[in-house]
Structure 1
């Protein structure tokens, strides 16, 4: 394992342990602390973080679904190559595809869907734990496209979600506050049944996040 940085879990992070381990490893991978092709040894990670192998194993499985590692027989978890161009491509495609899916979904949303979206916005605004915010954010984005009848489009979006995680609050300063304002504006457009405005706001929201993430990672790599 690379010796250029130190993996750390704060004491208050010990609840939902595998999610916290996943967050630490994800950020280390995205910031280039682990090289593409590098093997992540469970025993070494467990020792560095002061946890058992179980949360490490669960975290690595989650990272595999996100496309950041591949688990190979007899070798374990291997860091996959993911460049800034990959991130730009994924966020660019997400912005376009989710815009389309939201536009197609809005007119078919039921009152209960909108109530659930409002509840998720409120939960994100109240969240003090980035992990809680992330989980509600995923639910919010999933619900926004849940009434889209173009199943191939939804499948493309889900593939992009697996290709790169929607988990940036801990990596971008002020991300939670900006996202909360944007989510509130998107919700208002959906309430007004303005599919075009809702789609544009979703496009701008995802594009801004992607651009900010790329800029942040570039600074780290310089």
Structure 2
């Protein structure tokens, strides 16, 4: 573990997704090495929470492939593979734009207002956990009206993990994302389905490429 790692985000009760976000980001940034044990008591002390949310977060990270549970060792950091990141973003760049294309005609006035609110909230909160949450809400709503449960299920599975925390990992990601979100939003408001799909595809593909670049010093296989 990096000697300077500081995961504490306040002596308060945290939501499950906040704990996951803190630990996920630390793993992706290399604060924990592949093969390193993640001891619940140590993580609880570092983050300032009880062991219960740590235990639940480790289970979630296991489903995302970032952690594995080993007999007699507990949670251990798994190596991050380049091919995993490439596959996730290749799938996202196909499935999310498809869901958006199917959703646009079903957006209500409330949906338009919600998208504008999420976008504005990201502009006003360009740091920390709040941005991550607004970003997730924005992307979820883009796909949510496609009326295809299987498609939404696939997106939900592959969008966990890397996708949620890129704003905290990629240098300059927040500013770039805000501009790209604005392009997507304006295209939707102007009922330009083709442009909205094009902008979302670019946004996801560009993020995937820059995530790989930001993690290039890690031992990919």
**TM-score interval (norm. to shorter):** 0.7 to 0.9
Name the residue aligned to 1:84. 82
Whether the aligned pair in 2 keeps the contact of 1:106 and 1:190 (CA below 8 Å) is yes
Q: Is 1:100 aligned with 2:98?
A: yes
* Distance in 1 of aligned mates of 2:43 and 2:161: 23
* Distance in 2 of aligned mates of 1:192 and 1:61: 42
Q: Is 1:112 aligned with 2:110?
A: yes
Pair 180,92 (structure 1): closer, same or farther in 2 beyond 3 Å: same
Q: What are the residue-to-residue correspondences of 1:171-186 with 2, within 5 Å? A: 171-186=169-184
Post-superposition offset of 1:181: 0.9
Whether the aligned pair in 1 keeps the contact of 2:104 and 2:145 (CA below 8 Å) is yes
Name the residue aligned to 1:144. 142
**Which ranges in structure 2 are unaligned for 5 or more consecutive residues?**
none
Post-superposition offset of 1:81: 4.0
Post-superposition offset of 1:182: 0.8
Pair 65,13 (structure 1): closer, same or farther in 2 beyond 3 Å: farther
Q: What are the residue-to-residue correspondences of 1:26-175 with 2, within 5 Å? A: 26-49=24-47, 51-71=49-69, 76-162=74-160, 164-175=162-173
Post-superposition offset of 1:178: 0.9
* Distance in 1 of aligned mates of 2:13 and 2:177: 23
Whether the aligned pair in 1 keeps the contact of 2:11 and 2:49 (CA below 8 Å) is no
Whether the aligned pair in 1 keeps the contact of 2:136 and 2:164 (CA below 8 Å) is yes
Whether the aligned pair in 1 keeps the contact of 2:166 and 2:211 (CA below 8 Å) is yes
Pair 117,20 (structure 1): closer, same or farther in 2 beyond 3 Å: closer
Name the residue aligned to 2:213. 215
Q: Is 1:194 aligned with 2:192?
A: yes
For this pair of structures, how many residues does the alignment match? 219
* Distance in 1 of aligned mates of 2:98 and 2:11: 39
Post-superposition offset of 1:9: 3.1
